[in-house]
A = this chain, B = another copy of it.
């Protein structure tokens, strides 16, 4: 049995060594011995010149696998450097949905020339017209479709005849004469039923499908909810247009989670750590500038209390504590809310219940943290009053996050925007400003006893 974990670095070294000593054939053989995901892993780490030297030596099937497994941008870059006829030959061996995605990522004129040179262009063309992030953009053409009138035996010999190269078949969808989706047969019941049984009798009629214009996330969620390996895509009249397979839904769910993580971290989109500088600046700078202007609210509050600070500069020592701890509490509440919304666990209609729940939690946490702050002030600065003021300000501020941390993401969600995107900035800015207001407001009122 082959070891399943390959050491990409060692292999990369061997491939490079073969290329350097002018032996691209050996380099190709090393790559061809790997599984597709590993082939792409090694190939991706080569530099463009090495890739261009190696590619013509690989079997067309292997090149197709590599183009499927590479990240979209890397595949498009590589394809952009290839001749139209070479590319067409490889695309013919790719899954139609992957071929369509790649064609959508290269220059339109080139895509047209490649399509003209392809043999299976008819399988790919219908997939090109759907938006990338819809069910239609995700589906592949349904290669094997059974008809209600077939017998199990006919269906099996039909399968034998069609048997495509490497493609796995999970479910066999059944349509009527007008190509309307009628049911689904799984391969096992085809095998284990009597050969004379009619497909119409052994199929399940209760088949979950998705409309071609539905959002890709809806498709992925359906597949996850019902543990489906394949989801048929239909038009408004239930005509079967294609199939989404489980590996796509896998990728989407992971991408959506990554997107949420990035947005909560203040980055508009996925930015791999090796993104070109210009693009990375474009994705991160706007957030910093927005944050900067939101911080002006707090700056204005501090300016308002300049004379109080001038009277007692020691007040400043507690700024990071009041603002920092409340900021953390706000981020916690926000994170729970945003993830719960993404997983479909909370809705605007039960907002009040969630706020009350978070309020109770914030009250307990705020009281305990407030007491600790008071003690710190007493020990460090010898002032119980200063401590009480900082502690109460923190408590008030933490309580406020129970409201803002729930209401703001829910409101953004209600208006069909992504709550992970803008909530952190707004909640943080409000929490900060309110913290300074509460702390310095109380300190101003008590300034005579403080100094």
Q: Which residues of A contact B (CB under 8 A)?
A: 1-2, 4, 35, 37, 156, 159-160, 163, 168-170, 181-182, 186-188, 190-192, 205-209, 222, 224-227, 229, 238, 246-247, 250, 253-254, 257-258, 260-262, 264-267, 271-274, 277, 280-281, 284-285, 287-289, 291-292, 294-296, 298-300, 302-303, 306-307, 309-310, 313-314, 316-321, 323-325, 328-329, 331-332, 334-340, 343, 345-346, 354, 357-358, 360-361, 364-365, 368-369, 372-373, 376, 428, 432, 436
Partner of A265, one of B254, B257, B334: B334
Chosen A-B contacts, 15 in total, with CB atoms closer than 8 Å, are A1-B206, A1-B209, A170-B170, A187-B187, A227-B247, A253-B253, A261-B261, A264-B264, A273-B358, A280-B361, A288-B365, A289-B369, A291-B328, A295-B324, A296-B321
Q: Quick check: B365 and A284 within 8 Å, CB to CB?
A: yes
- Chain B's nearest CB lies how many Å from the CB of A339? 5
- Given A163-B188, A224-B254, 20 additional A-B pairs, CB 8 A: A2-B206, A160-B191, A187-B188, A224-B250, A227-B247, A261-B264, A264-B264, A266-B328, A273-B346, A273-B358, A277-B360, A288-B365, A289-B372, A291-B325, A296-B376, A298-B321, A300-B317, A302-B320, A316-B319, A320-B432
B277 and A4 within 8 A (CB) = no
Interface of A is mostly: helix
How distant is the Cα of A4 from the Cα of B156 in the complex, in angstroms? 29
Q: Report which of B159, B264, B313, B361 forms a contact with A306, defined as CB distance below 8 A.
A: B313
Partner of A4, one of B209, B307, B323, B345: B209
Task: Check B280 against A329 for contact (C-beta < 8 Å).
Answer: no
**Closest chain B residue to A234 by CB distance?**
B1
